Amino acid sequence: MKRGITVLLSLSALVTVAYFTASKWAIHHETITFNDPSRDNRPVTVNVAVRRDKEMQADAGLIKLPVAILNHGNTVKNTEYSFLANIFAARGYLTISPQHDLPTDPPMVTKVGEIYVGRLPQILRGVANIHYAVHEMRKIQPNADYDKLTMVGHSMGGDITMYFAKQYPDEIKKVVTLDNLRVPFLTEGKFKILSFRSKDPQFKADPGVVPDADECEKAGITVVNTGFQHNDMRDTGPDNAKTSIQSMLDKFLEDNDSSAISPVQTKVPNPLISSPGPVPLANPGPVASNAGKPVTN
């Protein structure tokens, strides 16, 4: 009994400190590699981010963690979106970022006339990685809600995100994409969707991918038109891009999460998210150049 009271007091102290502290110590990052026997022991490495106090509460069986899957762009590592992972982790999510491609994988080649311009094999590989990572994470952290996922992705990872949501809508709670270019949005209104769009002449969405304003309004889709370039939407992007995206994302989560999911102290949310449909991003600042950055379409 005394030990139980001590544990609860310790958890309460951690919660109190966490809510008033935004320092990095509050979030636990870990890298885990699984090997999928159904695909010749293909390694599926995941980067996991979770608030330490929430992790302890889940380990004690006191709460069930919401789960966010964060999907990276082509040629980009799964660790290059910590500015997004930390927003979800700060709100109490178990954030899982799988590495979808390996150096030994064949290069992605555009094939005009084929579905998703020939990207379907890579998309299906990503879907398989997600399902396998979730299967294995259930063993490591059973006190999490793997049945209703918040799916997030940039560029190619955004296409994996949208394809997964279209194929497995019953497994989805929310969707967030950053410049997905090939897979059309799900417009049945089964869940809320937030999408950040770049202003980049080199990265244009295929026709029919992004719904018009009327469709967005009906389906509960919020499209945020930014002044940033496609490759600004990851850790290597300028601070003003990351801060703006974080603020809008935090507001979206605040509006759509239950009151039980609250963040460690975060920046004041951007007030522009108020209704579905295209939304301009306030004060996007100077647009950075793509020079020297890998293509992630």
Beta strand pairing status for 42-51 and 27-36?
Answer: antiparallel
**Which residue's entry shows tokens 């990503």?**
126
Q: What is the pLDDT of residues 106-119, one digit of tens each?
A: 988 889 888 999 99
**Quick one: pLDDT at residue 31?**
98
**Quick one: pLDDT at residue 29?**
95
How large is the average pLDDT for residues 214-240?
96
| Contacts (Cβ under 8 Å, ≥6 apart) of 241 | 226, 228, 232, 233, 284, 285, 288
Spatial distance between the Cα atoms of 91 and 272, rounded to a whole number of angstroms: 20
**Quick one: pLDDT at residue 112?**
86
pLDDT band at 140 (very low <50, low <70, confident <90, very high): very high
Classify each residue of 150-188 as buried b or exposed e, where b means 16 or more C-beta atoms within 10 Å of its C-beta: bbbbbbbbbbbbbbbbbeeeebbbbbbbbbbbbbbbbee
Beta strand pairing status for 144-154 and 65-71?
Answer: parallel
* Inter-axis angle of helices 2-19 and 52-59, nearest 10: 150
pLDDT beyond 70 at 269? no
Q: What is the pLDDT of residues 153-212, one digit of tens each?
A: 999 999 999 999 999 999 999 999 999 999 999 999 999 999 999 999 999 999 999 999
172, 198 contact by CB (below 8 A)? no
Q: What is the pLDDT of residues 56-84, one digit of tens each?
A: 999 999 999 999 999 999 999 999 999 99
Look at 117-121, 233-237, 247-251, 287-291 and tell me which has the smallest mean pLDDT: 287-291
**Quick one: pLDDT at residue 227?**
93
Estimate to the nearest angstrom the gap between the alpha carbon of 33 and the chain centroid. Answer: 19
pLDDT band at 92 (very low <50, low <70, confident <90, very high): very high
Q: Quote the mean pLDDT of the chain.
A: 85
pLDDT band at 99 (very low <50, low <70, confident <90, very high): very high
Using alpha carbons only, how large is the chain's radius of gyration in Å?
Answer: 19
pLDDT band at 258 (very low <50, low <70, confident <90, very high): confident
195, 185 contact by CB (below 8 A)? yes
pLDDT band at 2 (very low <50, low <70, confident <90, very high): very low
Quote the pTM value.
0.83
- What percent of the chain is modeled with pLDDT above 90? 74
296, 155 contact by CB (below 8 A)? yes
pLDDT band at 287 (very low <50, low <70, confident <90, very high): very low
Per-position DSSP letters for the chain, written without gaps between them: -HHHHHHHHHHHHHHHHHHT--SGGGEEEEEEEEEEGGGTTEEEEEEEEEEHHHHHHHHTTS--EEEEEEEPPTT--TTTTHHHHHHHHHTT-EEEEE----TTSPPP---TTSGGGGTHHHHHHHHHHHHHHHHHHHHH--SEEEEEEEEEEETHHHHHHHHHHHH-GGGEEEEEEES--SSPPP-S-SSEEEEEE---TT--PPTTSS--HHHHHHHTEEEEE-SS-GGGSSTTS-HHHHHHHHHHHHHHHHHHS-TT---SS-PPPPTT--SSEEEEPS---SPPP-TTPPP--
